C-alpha cells in the first residue's frame, strides 16, 4: 500500500512539473499575449497610461537628451556698473573726506541663452540693466565681451551679441502648446561654474506677478516647480525635446532661495521681442487702446456671465484700435485672434505678439451676447507706423522713462517719479540730465509714468516750463524755463 502512495505522489509531481514548465515557457516566449489576456480579465491601468509608464521605465522619455541639447547653449553673464551713492550725512560724519560720496563699482551676474551660431544671446533686462560692461562666459569657459543689441523693460528681455561663430544654440519651441503637468527642464549658469540642469513640471500658465514697474508691461509667466536660485535669471526653460519654451526670470520665495515656485517668460513673447530688436532696433509694441481688469465673481453676476473668465474693459482710449472697432466699457474679451483668453495676462500675451498695423479679431460678450469684430493694431502713439530706435514705448524726448518701484522710492526718498534709464538725443539730454536721474514733476504736475510726462507737456517740447527731481547722487533740483 505504501508503494502505491509513493507512485501516485511521483506521478502528481511529474504532472505538476510539466504544467509549470509549459506555463513558464509560454510567459517567457509570449509576454505580450499574457499582458493582453490578463488585461481582459483583471483590473489593469488604462492601456495608454500603462504604455506611457512602461516607456518611461525603459528610458523613452529621457531628460539626458534634452539636457545635452541645452547645456552648451546656456552661458554665464557678468556685469559691472559704476553707481553714484546718494548723500549720506551719517557716513560723512563718521568717515569725513574718506567717504566723499565717491562712485562705487557694482557687480552683477545671471544667465543667458545662445539662439544663433553667430553669437546672439537672450537674457533678462534686469540682469544687464545699468551695466557699463557685460562679459559672457561659455560652458567651455571661454570669455567674450558682449554688446547690448537692445532691451525691453516691458517684457524683461534683453538681447546681447558676442563675436563668435559655430556656437551651440537652442531652437525655439512652442510655449502655447505646453500643458499643465508637462515635464520641463530649467538650465542656467548661476554660480559661474558650468551649466546646471533641474527638472520640474509646468504648474500653471498665464501667471501675472506684478513684478515689472513699466507702463506697458506684459506678464504672462509659465510657472514651474523646477529648482531655480539667484543667478538663474536669463536661463533656458526647455521641453523634453530640448526646444526653448521660455526664459527663466523669477522665483517666488520669502528667503530669496528656491522654494518650489519658478517663473519663465514664454517663448511666444520672447521670439517677438528678439525679432523686433534684431530687425528694427526697437520693440514694435502694439496696443488695442483699453484699460482692462480680470473678471471677478461680482462682474460675472452683474453682467450675467456664465463663467468667471476673461478681461473686462474699464476704459476705452479715444482714437485707439478698440475705439475704432466700437468696443465699449464693460465688454468682456474672451478671445483674441481665435485664441481663448481667460485673464488679462493671457490677453496681454496674445497682444504682445502683434506689431502696429497688424490685423486682428476680438471676441467679446456684451449684454449676454457674443460678438466678434476686426481691428487694426496701433502703436503707443496711436498710429500704425513702425517706431524708430529710441522712439518706442516709454520714450519721451529721447529718454526712456520707467516708473519707480518701492526700492527706488526709498533710495531717493520720493513718493512718486520716473527714472531715466536710457538717454538719447533730445531736450532732456540737452538740459544736462543724466541716466539715473529721477523726475518727480513736470510743469508743476507730479508724474508717475511716461504717459503722465507726455500729458504734462501736451506731448510738445515747447510746452516744457519746469522740471523737478533728484539726481543719481541724491541731490534735489528744479529747472525753470521761459520765465
DSSP three-state, residue 277: helix
β-pair partners for 137 = 76, 143
C-alpha cell belonging to residue 344: 488679462
10 Å Cβ neighbour count for 476? 13
Among 152, 156, 276, 408, the active-site one is 156
- Give the end-to-end CA distance of the chain in Å, rounded to a whole number: 134
10 Å Cβ neighbour count for 217? 18
Among 76, 126, 323, 408, the active-site one is 126
- Pair 110, 233: CB distance under 8 Å: yes
- 156 is an active site residue: yes
- 126 is an active site residue: yes
Among 111, 195, 203, 233, the active-site one is 233
Cα 406 to Cα 419: distance, rounded to the nearest angstrom:
13
Return the percent helix, strand and coil in the chain, to nearest 5: 25, 30, 40
Backbone CA torsion sign across 315, 316, 322, 327: positive
Please state the length of the chain: 483
Cα 405 to Cα 129: distance, rounded to the nearest angstrom:
14
Which of these, 324, 234, 340, lies nearest to 288 by C-alpha position?
Answer: 324
Cα 97 to Cα 87: distance, rounded to the nearest angstrom:
13
Q: Write out the catalytic residue numbers.
A: 126, 156, 233
Amino acid at each position: 500500500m505504501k508503494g502505491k502512495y509513493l507512485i501516485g505522489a511521483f506521478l502528481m509531481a511529474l504532472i505538476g512539473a510539466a504544467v509549470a514548465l509549459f506555463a513558464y515557457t509560454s510567459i517567457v516566449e509570449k509576454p505580450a499575449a499574457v499582458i493582453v489576456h490578463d488585461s481582459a480579465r483583471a483590473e489593469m491601468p488604462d492601456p495608454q497610461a500603462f504604455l506611457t509608464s512602461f516607456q518611461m521605465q525603459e528610458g523613452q522619455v529621457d531628460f539626458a537628451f534634452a539636457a545635452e541639447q541645452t547645456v552648451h547653449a546656456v552661458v554665464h553673464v557678468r556685469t559691472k556698473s559704476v553707481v553714484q551713492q546718494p548723500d549720506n550725512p551719517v557716513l560723512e560724519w563718521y568717515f569725513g573726506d574718506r567717504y566723499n560720496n565717491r562712485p562705487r563699482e557694482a557687480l552683477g551676474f545671471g544667465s543667458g541663452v545662445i539662439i544663433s551660431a553667430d553669437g546672439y544671446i537672450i537674457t533678462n533686462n534686469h540682469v544687464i540693466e545699468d551695466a557699463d560692461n557685460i562679459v559672457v562666459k561659455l560652458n567651455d569657459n571661454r570669455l567674450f565681451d558682449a554688446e547690448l543689441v537692445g532691451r525691453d523693460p516691458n517684457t524683461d528681455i534683453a538681447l546681447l551679441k558676442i563675436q563668435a561663430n559655430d556656437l551651440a544654440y537652442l531652437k525655439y519651441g512652442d510655449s502655447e502648446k505646453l500643458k499643465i503637468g508637462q515635464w520641463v527642464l530649467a538650465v542656467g549658469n548661476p554660480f559661474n561654474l558650468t551649466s546646471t540642469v533641474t527638472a520640474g513640471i509646468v504648474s500653471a500658465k498665464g501667471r501675472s506677478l506684478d513684478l515689472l514697474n513699466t507702463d506697458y508691461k506684459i506678464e504672462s509667466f509659465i510657472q514651474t516647480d523646477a529648482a531655480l536660485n539667484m543667478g538663474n535669471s536669463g536661463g533656458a526653460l526647455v521641453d523634453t525635446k530640448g526646444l526653448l519654451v521660455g526664459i527663466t526670470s523669477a522665483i517666488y520665495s520669502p528667503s530669496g532661495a528656491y522654494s518650489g515656485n519658478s517663473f519663465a517668460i514664454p517663448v511666444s513673447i520672447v521670439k517677438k521681442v528678439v525679432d523686433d530688436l534684431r530687425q528694427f532696433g526697437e520693440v514694435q509694441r502694439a496696443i488695442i487702446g483699453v484699460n482692462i481688469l480680470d473678471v471677478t465673481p461680482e462682474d460675472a453676476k452683474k453682467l450675467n456671465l456664465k463663467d468667471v473668465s476673461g478681461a473686462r474693459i474699464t476704459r476705452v482710449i479715444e482714437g485707439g484700435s478698440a475705439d475704432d472697432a466700437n468696443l465699449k466699457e464693460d465688454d468682456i474679451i474672451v478671445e483674441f485672434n481665435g485664441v481663448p483668453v481667460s485673464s488679462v495676462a493671457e490677453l496681454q500675451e496674445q497682444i504682445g505678439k502683434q506689431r502696429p498695423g497688424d490685423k486682428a479679431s476680438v471676441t467679446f460678450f456684451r449684454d449676454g451676447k457674443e460678438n466678434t469684430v476686426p481691428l487694426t493694431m496701433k502703436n503707443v502713439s496711436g498710429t500704425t507706423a513702425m517706431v524708430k530706435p529710441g522712439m518706442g514705448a516709454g520714450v519721451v524726448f529721447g529718454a526712456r522713462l520707467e516708473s519707480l518701484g518701492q526700492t527706488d522710492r526709498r533710495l531717493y526718498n520720493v513718493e512718486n517719479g520716473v527714472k531715466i534709464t536710457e538717454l538719447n538725443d533730445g531736450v532732456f539730454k540737452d538740459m544736462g540730465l543724466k541716466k539715473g536721474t529721477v523726475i518727480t514733476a513736470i510743469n508743476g504736475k507730479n508724474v508717475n509714468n511716461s504717459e503722465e510726462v507726455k500729458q504734462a507737456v501736451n506731448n510738445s517740447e515747447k510746452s516744457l516750463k519746469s522740471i523737478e527731481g533728484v539726481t543719481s547722487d541724491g541731490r534735489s533740483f528744479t529747472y525753470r524755463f521761459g520765465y
